Structure formats: structure tokens, C-alpha cells
Structure 1
Amino acid sequence: MAVVPHTPSRGEIIDQAYRVEGGLGAGGVGAVLRATRLRDGCEVALKRLHLQHAADAEARARFEREARALNGLEHPHIIRMLDFGFDELGPYLVMELLEGRSLDRVLAESPIPPEQAVALARQVAAGLAAAHAEGVVHRDVKPENIFVVQPDSPHPLAKLLDFGLARFFDRDRWAEKESLTRDGAVLGTPLYMPAEQSLGQKADTRSDVYALGVVLFEMLAGAPPFDGADRLALVRAHAMSPLPPIDQHRRGLTLSPALHAVVERALAKDANQRYADAVTLHAALASVPHPAAWLR
């Protein structure tokens, strides 16, 4: 018999501190709820595991790892954690409530103007730079994990979400502080992963740079550089196929050589040829000329 996940109902009280107001989204492992903090009436987003996963040691460990990663990160382009706790149903994570849409939904609605794509990529790079400075590699940068606040305004705000696959490293020795990942295990989303990560090698800051490069390419081109349901074909393409023209899905798009160079370096096959981390990628994006100078 299939296990039906427990979905807290409207009005349910969690840990005597939060009242559920409704659902915001759900996945295979957990759900995100809209809730009210009882002590002050503040609306928040509350994330928790489905009941059948709350007793799974690895699922709980990954959930707790996300909380530890967010607890050390305070940045305007990273979702802010407000609380973490446990009740009789398992752990829960409380975050700021964001109004807007995830980047994958924004991309599905209409093309993003190039200048806005660069601005959003810069914001995500700034958030990633803060994570890298604290010894955290995200490992799953993709449009679904980027939230856009006020997406229809001239100046939308990007927030990086979901640090459930984050890896912690010692910034001085590049040694893993802790890991739930077995050697050779592959974590992440193949559409946005560099070949070395898809092949089970340890992800580092350059892996996040590549993933954000794929996201930037997708925002500019309207589609990721490599696509398809065949995982092995995707890995092979990321490892060996030349980067397709950015305008192949978006005819008439004209970008400056400077922006082309940033995308190409972020998506270098050899990790040693990429930007070393999000700090250097952010600096490169910041140096791209104003849109008025983008015409060749």
C-alpha cells in the first residue's frame, strides 16, 4: 500500500509556534507551507519533510544540513532562515516568505530581456559568492532554485533557495568538513551540472560557476545549451559538445563580445579554465558594458 504523505491542514498548529495557512509547494520529499508566526503574526514559509521521510536518517540529515548552511548565510540574494526546530512529526525549517515566482516559471512565461538576465545572474552570483566565502558549495543551482521577487518590475530581485544538497568545505585546505555523499555518488540536476559533477567527482565552487553559467545561457537563449531526457547523452554533451550559439533559439538576439566571453568561460569544459568561484564570476558580469553598448 502506498504511503500517503501527511499534509498539514489550514489552521493546524506546529510546535505551538506556527499556524498553517496553506500550501506553497510540494516535492517528493517535503512540502513548503505558508504559515503565521503566532508570537507576532508574521507570515513565513515553513518547510518540512513528508511524514514517510521524517524517519529516514539520510533525508533528515540533508534537511538539517540545509538549516546549518542557511544559518551561517546572511545575504540579500539568499533566502533568509528564521527558525529551525523539531516537533512530533520531525524537523521543520522556517524562512522568510517571498512573493513572486521561481525563475523556471518566469522563463516559461516569456523571454527575459538580456539586460535583466545579466542583472539576475549578477545577483545570484553575489549570493553564491557569500556562500563560497563561508565554505558552502550549493551543488544544485538551477532555475527552480532561484526565486524572483517582483518578476514583472523593471528591477526584479533574485534569491537563491534550497541548500539541501550543499557541501561544506574548509576554505584553506579544500578538505571536506563533512559529507553525506558517498564517493562516486551523483547529486544535482544533470541539465545544469558540469561533467565532473555528473561523473561523481566532488563538486567545488567551479561547479556552481558552471551551473550558473547554464542558467545565464538559458535566460539569454530561451533554452539551456544541452537538453534531453537521456542522462548519459547529457553528460557526454556537457563533457565534449561545443557550446551552441546563444541565438539558436532566439533569433535576432545580439550580444556583446564581452558577454559572450563571460558565458563561454563560465561554461568551460575544463574546470581549471572557468572562473575560480562566484566572486570572480560576479566581477566579470559587473564589467559587462551597459546594454546600450551590447550591439556588435
Structure 2
Amino acid sequence: MSEANGPVTVGDGRYELIGHLGSGGMGDVLEARDVRLNRRVALKFLGAGRLTGAAPGSERFARARELFVREGHTMARVDHTYVATIYDCDVGGDDPFIVMEHVDGRPLAEYVGSDPLLLEQTVRWSGQIAEGLAAAHREGVVHRDIKPANILITHDSSEVRIIDFGLARFADATESHTDMGTPLYRSPERCRFESGDERSDLYSLGCVMYEMVTGWPPFGDRRSDAAALAKAHQHQLPVRPGQQVPDVPEALDDLVMSLLAKNPADRPRNARAVVRAVQEVERVLEAVAETRRRGPGDDSPQIDAGITERIRGTEKRVRRLLLQFGAAHVETCAARAELAELTGESGDERGAVELYERLGRDCQRHYGPHDRRALDAFENMTRWTEGGYEM
């Protein structure tokens, strides 16, 4: 690391450090600028000493460095839209690091953990995670640590970027099982400290999807005892998501439960099969939206309502207006109301109620309890609460 009365740099001056992005059991992540290519990147410092207890210069440290180089090469083979790109690795110093795409976004962990996500978000992000896993699995790369913290959601396009491919295997190989966190999303075989394979990633995806649908993981929470969680993953059947949250399409319910099968052979064959299953759920949601659009008794030919794309486009517009004007600006309010209505039309009545309620409360805070926009939002919330779509 170099300072010399100027910016702090690493990698023989190529990477200029900007700020701290996060820390975990496996190391620190720093934002940096690639001076040579003039682009923002993220540097993931593995902290081999933290993982292995090895001092720089020791034989154990050298072994950890060798494994890290191998994993860096493995991770770099995965080239896909929904997987964060690995650009480079630097293992010459005492603090090895990889250079990866800087993702301007937030981890999925900040979206889950309390309330269910909108169905459209759940289905969209589940499909993208499955596509990213399918691309990795084609290259023989297994993630082994799929969890909300390792899935970033971009700010500009609301798309998935999976990070930290291969790092769990690195931790396994360096005999560090203590800093990997509680096994909220680990497959039964990973809970037994087996290496796992592609279908282990699918089980973890099922855990993540379960949390997106219901608001909480299939077993326990972040305060739960690790041994109790591991036992539950191996022996306990979770309650079906649809028994806990209303309006969950049966196809989505079935897919989540199939991913959570204890025996890997009983899970979907591969990630591509999951992608196809998610596409089937999307078709179900489109059919619900089309039925609502046509109304009862309308036997005219079906027309694709394109509800998913309309929701995604409106969601992007809402994010842009939130950043530009704030939550209660007249344009933002109109876009938020449109998003809530589209969400209800898609078959996610619970999501529509939640979005209208948030909009109403924001308008009350900014404009007063009797503001027309707030009253309209609560009126529409009531309409969707009663399950009716009558305009």
C-alpha cells in the first residue's frame, strides 16, 4: 500500500482507494478507482490471516495465497449479466485482493427480513439469480454461499448481481467454518460440512425465495443458534409460503418447496429448470393481470397485457423521481400510485395495499392528514384490501 503524501493506492499504484464499502468474516471491501482504465471498481481483500490464523510469510499463508489465486481464476470464468464481473486479482503482497465490478446498488439483505416483497420483484429477482447460477454452473463454478448479502440489486436497473463466487470454497479449504455466519440459507449437505454441488446452490436459492415471499427465512432468524438451524435444515419441513402469506401463486409455492427438498436428487435438475419454472410463474401472473383487465364475462381473445414490463418501467421511474424530487413530490406521488395500481392488477393485492398505504402515510406527513393525495391513496388501499377491482 502506497501513500507518499498523495492518494492511498494498492497494486503498484494502479488502484486508488476511495472508501470503505463493507466488511465481513472473510475480509473488507473497498471502493477504488482503476487509474489505468479510469473506472470505479471494488476491491475484495480476503484477509487470509483472519481466515486461517496464518501470519504473512508462513507456509500456511503461502498455501492460502495459492488457493486464493486458483479461486480467482475460477471466479473469472463466469461472464454473465447477473454475476458481478471479476477483472483482476493481486496476490503479491501480504493482503491479497480481487478486483471486481463496482455495483451501484444495495444488497438484497436490505430489502428482506421484515415484510414480503412484491410478487413481481420476487419473481423477477428469483429468475435473474437462477440465470446467473445457470451461467456459473455451466462453467463448473458452484457458489456455495447464496444468501441475500451476496446478491446486490442495482440502483439504475433494479437487476441482480451475484457476488463472492468461490469464496465459500476458499474458506472451506482454509479450514475456517467459524466466520461464515449462521446457516440461515445453507443446504442440509452444507450444514454437514460437505462440499455440496449445483443443487446446494438451488437449496440456498429456495431459502432466499422463501424469505422474499414471506418476509423471513424458512427456519429461524439471525439470532437463532447455528446448530439448531443446521438441524432444522437437515430434518425439519418448512411451512409452505402460501399458508403464511395470501395470494402466493401455487406455481411459486410449489417451486420454493421443491428447491427446499432435503435430498438434492428431489430438487430441480439444474438452474435452467428453475429459470423455466420462474417463467411459468410469470405467465401465471400475466394471466391474472389479463383477467383483471378484461373483467368478468369478457370472452374476447386474450391479449398479452405486458404487466411485468410495465411494472418494471414504472418502478424505474419511481426510483428516478425519488432521487430527483423526494417521496412526496407531485410527480413522484403519481408514479407511486401508478406502480401500486399495476401491482394490484398483476394479482398481488397485498403488494398494492402495502404500496398505497406507504404513499398515503408519506403524503400525510408532508401535506397534512386531509390531503387529497393521501385520502385517495387510502381509498385505493381499502379497495384492494377488499379484493375488488372495480373502476
The normalised TM-score by structure 2 is 0.63
Runs of 5+ unmatched residues, structure 1 = 1-5, 169-178
- Rounded to whole Å, the distance in 1 between the matches of 2:36 and 2:145 is 34
2:385 counterpart residue number:
none
1:181 and 1:19 mapped to 2: Cα distance?
A: 29
- Cα distance in 2 for partners of 1:109, 1:188 equals 19
Corresponding residue to 1:47 among 44, 51, 54: 44
Question: Following superposition of structure 1 onto structure 2, how do residues 137-286 of structure 1 map, counting pairs within 5 Å?
Answer: 137-150=142-155, 156-165=158-167, 180=173, 190-228=183-221, 229-246=224-241, 251=245, 253-286=246-279
Question: Per the alignment, do residues 185 and 133 of structure 1 end up closer, same or farther by CA in structure 2, a change over 3 Å counting?
Answer: farther
CA contact (8 A) 1:84 1:93 kept: yes
Map 1:3-42 to 2 at 5 A.
Answer: 11-14=7-10, 15-42=12-39
Partner amino acid for 1:142?
K
1:125 aligns with 2:130: yes
2:118 to 113, 116, 123: 113
Say which SS state the counterpart of residue 216 (structure 2) adopts: coil
Q: Which one of 272, 276, 280 corresponds to residue 287 of structure 1?
A: 280
1:173 match = none
1:42 and 1:185 map into 2 onto residues whose CA distance is 35
Cα gap change, 1:186/1:144 in structure 2, threshold over 3 Å: closer, same or farther? closer
C-alpha distance in 1 between matches for 2:115 and 2:214:
12
Report what 2:299 is aligned to: none
Q: Is the 8 Å Cα contact of residues 35 and 44 (structure 1) preserved in structure 2? A: yes
Gap runs ≥5 in structure 2: 289-346, 349-391
Distance in 1 separating the partners of 2:203 and 2:6: 41
**Shift in Å, 1:140:** 0.4
Closer/same/farther in 2, CA of residues 46 and 285 from structure 1, 3 Å limit? same
* Higher helix proportion: 2
SS at match of 1:31: strand
Paired with 2:194 and 2:92, the residues of 1 have a C-alpha distance of 36
Change (3 A) 1:52 1:230: closer
Deviations 1:204-259 (A, max 9, x none): 1111110000000100100001015222321222222222131566x4x3111111
Aligned-pair RMSD on alpha carbons?
3.2
* C-alpha spacing 1:49/1:210, structure 2 compared with 1 (3 Å): closer
Q: Is the 8 A contact 2:119 2:213 kept in 1?
A: yes
Deviates more, 1:187-196 or 1:130-139: 187-196
Distance 2:208 2:273 in 1: 17
What secondary structure is seen at the aligned counterpart in 2 of 1:136?
coil
| Contact 1:111–1:222 (Cα < 8 Å) also in 2 | yes
1:67-107 deviations in whole A, cap 9, x for unaligned? Answer: 12221110001100111123433322111111110010122
**Offset at residue 162 of structure 1 (A):** 0.6
CA positional deviation for 1:144? 0.5
The C-alpha deviation readout for 1:92-135, integer Å capped at 9, x for no partner, is 21111111100101225864201111110110111111111111
Equivalent pair of 2:64/2:174 in contact (CA under 8 Å): no
- Between Structure 1 and Structure 2, the one with more strand by share is 1
Higher RCO (C-alpha 8 Å, min separation 6) = 1
1:62 CA displacement: 4.9
Aligned-partner Cα distance in 1 for 2:75–2:232: 33
TM-score (norm 1): 0.82
Q: CA deviation at 1:28?
A: 3.4
The letter of the residue matching 2:31 is R
Residue equivalent to 2:104: 99
| Identical residues among aligned pairs (%) | 37
Answer yes or no: is the 8 Å Cα contact 1:141–1:208 preserved in 2.
Answer: yes
Query: Are the aligned partners of 1:125 and 1:281 in contact in 2 as well (CA < 8 Å)?
Result: yes
Contact 1:138–1:208 under 8 Å retained in 2: yes
Gap change, CA 1:127 and 1:271, over 3 Å in 2:
same
One-letter amino acid of the structure 2 residue matched with residue 129 of structure 1: A
Whichever residue aligns with residue 80 of structure 2, its letter is H
- Aligned partner letter, 2:280: S
